[in-house]
Amino acid sequence: MSRVHDVIRRYKASVEIVRNGVEIFVVGDPAGARLNAAVRRLIYTVTENGSDVWSDLLRAANALRWRRMMQPQPGGFHPAVTEAASAVVREAHMLRGAVADEVLLEEIAAAAKGVRQTDSPVGHELWRSIEEADPSICAVVASSNRARAGLQEWLNSLSVPVLLPGELGDVKERVEQLYVAGPPSFFPPSLVTAPAAGELTFLMPAWFGHRAIPVSRLADQADGAMKARVKERTVGDLSEPESAVSDDELIEDTYYPQPVWRGRISGDREPERDEVEARKILLAGNRAIWLDDGDRIRALDPRQPEGERVTYAAVEDVVPGTYLVLRHGETELGAMYEAALHLLGPRAGAIEATQRVWKAALEARLANRGVRASIVELRARGVRSAARVRAWTEATLISPKHESDLVLLLEWLGLAVEPSHQNAMALRRAVYRASADLREELEDAVSRADLAALERDGHMSLGIERAGFRSMVVARVQARSPYTEIVPRLHTRTPFSDRSGEWLE
């Protein structure tokens, strides 16, 4: 479908949405309502007491509540709910005798068991609505990769596609009805303002009170801004337990599982010789990495066609939802460097020698002038990536990204440009060749992998036969730290166990 054709189709869908309005099915969910009331009481208790003793229980309970709301498929297609519910019961049991409010512990454990034992009525209503409308003209919108994977497995027998909000340009022309699994406030305004189908329905549990549809921030200032009517329809048992905590008492209830960041501990000092500023990246599978300020990192896009899935992502573009391809025990960069030297054959010794000379000279200059002063001098000479000068002393980091920066750097060091410049470029080309060979092997491994399981679980291992690369893993980014820490350079880009992102989507 051409871009123009897609725009025309969306304008037509907008007309239909304005004419018919947006439907919201508010579905009674007594088990979910009981859990919601217990979680709100737990949030209030944590806020009032200011204690971390409840934090593990709260994160598990909030994740369970979120999954109940945003992933309404039955339990047989929903191991994530079983996982979270079991964790809530376990954490509540561990706190017995450690906290005063035993009644709250009993209530939240009982509520978790109730959710584990009952299917979401929202899911039942979604299935019924699709069958009533005709599955061949329907599509479902999910909030996350994990939600989509579970919903797609459940809806496969109806042949109904499940998409993320950013993929609605892929909606087929035959689709007339979009069902959105979750409250409107957790989805972008474009679902309503640039609809991909003429009929739009949100399905949500009654215990979530905010039902306004999302609007653009510019809607109030725009002439003729699109405003759709909301048609609310209630379904099922709407009874809820009496809440012990009012909205006024509960300062903040985010619903969406949040990462816990402890704050920077490195202070304002400069990194030492073998250290680097890096951000903590939380990954699916209870892993994390320290991501430095390098140019790029190997990634995977499971939505691309076979042969085009393994690629590179710019470091600044590594955000939640990105899939990273990582090597256990050592960074890929070190292994690629060794592979490149092997490809260079007898030339490798001379090339390594010139690399050692200019890197040693750079190390001495940094020790003498200081990193900050050196960055200022290099920028004055026109070196574009001067901020990375400390990283250039690393043996496996071949040269600055820009070839002209290396020339300017060598001149600043008082060294002859050649043969150091040409040798560095030859080594870089060899690394590219080695990286391309690995990419082909990774593509082959990915073609044999279960990508549906990857989207559901967020991580998987890759079977690579090459020596030194047998322990490769793909993991989805769950969260990115808002600040950097100073860490040993050897610790960057290497996965390590970390449960901080256990309950993130």
Q: What is the pLDDT along the chain (505 residues), one digit of tens a residue?
A: 566 666 667 767 778 888 888 999 999 999 999 999 999 999 888 888 777 788 899 999 999 999 999 999 998 888 889 999 999 999 999 999 888 889 999 999 999 999 999 999 999 999 999 999 999 999 999 999 889 989 999 999 999 999 999 888 878 888 999 999 999 999 999 888 888 888 999 999 999 988 888 776 655 555 555 677 889 999 999 888 876 676 666 666 778 888 878 889 988 888 887 888 999 999 999 999 999 887 889 999 988 999 999 999 999 999 999 999 998 766 777 778 888 998 999 999 999 999 999 999 999 999 999 888 999 999 999 999 898 898 888 888 889 989 999 999 999 999 999 999 999 999 999 998 988 888 888 898 899 888 888 988 899 988 777 665 667 889 999 999 999 999 998 889 989 999 888 888 7
Q: Is 462 exposed, middle or buried (0-12, 13-18, 19+ CB in 10 A)?
A: buried
Is residue 220 a part of any domain in this protein?
no
Other CB atoms within 10 A of residue 40 CB: 20
CB-based contacts of 372: which residues, under 8 Å, 6+ apart?
Answer: 270
* pLDDT for the residue 273: 76
Is residue 504 a part of any domain in this protein?
no
The label of the residue with tokens 């939380």 reads 282
From its phi and psi, is residue 135 left (phi > 0), alpha (psi between -120 and 50) or beta?
A: alpha
Beta strand residue intervals within 294-346, DSSP E = 296-300, 310-314, 323-327
Do 59 and 136 lie in a common domain?
yes
Q: Final residue of a domain: which of 375, 398, 430?
A: 430
Host H or E run for residue 25 = strand 22-27
* pLDDT for the residue 7: 67
Is residue 354 a part of any domain in this protein?
yes
* pLDDT for the residue 236: 92
* pLDDT for the residue 415: 94
* pLDDT for the residue 67: 95
Host H or E run for residue 146 = helix 145-155
* pLDDT for the residue 468: 59
Is residue 502 a part of any domain in this protein?
no
Do 18 and 77 lie in a common domain?
yes
Is residue 145 a part of any domain in this protein?
yes
Q: Final residue of a domain: which of 383, 399, 430?
A: 430
Is residue 67 a part of any domain in this protein?
yes
What's the DSSP call for residue 243?
Answer: P
Is residue 503 a part of any domain in this protein?
no
* pLDDT for the residue 476: 95
Do 49 and 177 lie in a common domain?
yes
* Structural domain span for residue 445: 275-335+435-497
Do 444 and 425 lie in a common domain?
no
How is residue 275 written in tokens?
Answer: 């250290």
- The string of DSSP letters for 396-413 reads TS-S-SSHHHHHHHHHHT
How is residue 231 written in tokens?
Answer: 């048609």
Provide the number of structural domains found in the chain: 3
* pLDDT for the residue 279: 95
How is residue 449 written in tokens?
Answer: 């992998």
Chain segment 356-378, per-residue pLDDT in tens: 999 999 999 999 998 889 999 99
Threshold 0.85, pTM exceeds: no
* pLDDT for the residue 217: 60
Main-chain dihedrals φ then ψ at residue 172, nearest 5 degrees: -70, 155
Do 291 and 202 lie in a common domain?
no
Do 460 and 370 lie in a common domain?
no
* pLDDT for the residue 219: 53
Residue 405 vs residues 295, 408, 409, 417: alpha-carbon distances, Å: 14, 5, 6, 11
Do 57 and 191 lie in a common domain?
yes
Do 373 and 346 lie in a common domain?
yes
Is residue 281 a part of any domain in this protein?
yes
The one-letter amino acid at 433: R
Main-chain dihedrals φ then ψ at residue 476, nearest 5 degrees: -85, 135
The label of the residue with tokens 């920066």 reads 405
Do 412 and 452 lie in a common domain?
no
Do 365 and 416 lie in a common domain?
yes
Q: Are 285 and 496 in contact (CB under 8 A)?
A: no
How is residue 330 written in tokens?
Answer: 């050592």
The one-letter amino acid at 131: E
Do 348 and 290 lie in a common domain?
no
The number of angstroms, rounded, from the C-alpha of 388 to the middle of its chain's C-alpha atoms is: 26
Do 229 and 107 lie in a common domain?
yes
Q: Final residue of a domain: which of 430, 450, 474?
A: 430
